[in-house]
Structure 1
Amino acid sequence: MGYGLGVFLLALGLILALAVQDALSGVNLTMVGWILTLAGLLVIALTAVQANRSRRTSAVTTHADGSRTVTERRDDVPPAV
């Protein structure tokens, strides 16, 4: 799943919704096109959110005297795809 799938669904959906004039018995191609368009937009949005999610790690160290040290690290480098 990724941007390619989202763009494919978006393009296929818009073609079916706006350009196809044929009809199949029992199937509304315009509605199928709009559903595919929304699915494509959803895939693109979810891919963007997943790609931009920051990575955070935190470690809690408990010392002998009972005190704690919290170390947080944020990695803003996107993962390799």
Structure 2
Amino acid sequence: MRIGSSIALIAIGAILAFALAPGLIPFMDQVLIGYILMVVGVLGLIISIIMSNRTRHTVVERRTAPETIVERRPEV
């Protein structure tokens, strides 16, 4: 789940929970479903942000005569 779909779930859940008249959809508690969708959207948003901020590794290459030294160090 990416950031856009998480925000969409939050918006759909808020519409179900707050904007529609209660009892508009028969045989379903739309307020509870709205809250569930909002919670799932928030969790997905948090996970998406954490996954996108993982550290990336870079390769630094220094060339000296006659050999090549390659160092790997994490990017900060």
Alpha-carbon distance in 1 for matches of 2:50, 2:21: 35
Identity of paired residues, percent? 30
> 2:30 & 2:45 partners in 1: Cα distance?
22
Contact 2:22 2:31 in 1 (8 A): no
Matched AA of 1:36: L
Query: Superposition pairs for residues 1-80 of structure 1, below 5 Å?
Result: 1-23=1-23, 24-56=25-57, 73-76=73-76
Which amino acid in structure 1 is aligned with residue 36 of structure 2? I
**Structure 2 unaligned residues grouped into runs of 5+:** 59-70
How many Å apart are 1:22 and its aligned residue? 4.2
- Whichever residue aligns with residue 29 of structure 2, its letter is N
Matched position secondary structure for 1:39: helix
Q: Any runs of at least 4 consecutive aligned residues in structure 1 with deviations exceeding 3 A, and if so which?
A: none
In the aligned structure 2, how far is the partner of 1:31 from the partner of 1:22?
11
- 2:32 alignment partner AA: M
Q: Hey, what's the Cα distance between the residues in 2 that align with 1:46 and 1:39?
A: 11
CA displacement, residues 19-73 of structure 1 (integer Å, 9 cap, x when unaligned): 111423431000000000001111110000000111358xxxxxxxxxxxxx761
Q: How far apart in 2 are the matches of 1:4 and 1:27?
A: 26
Q: How far apart in 2 are the matches of 1:30 and 1:55?
A: 41
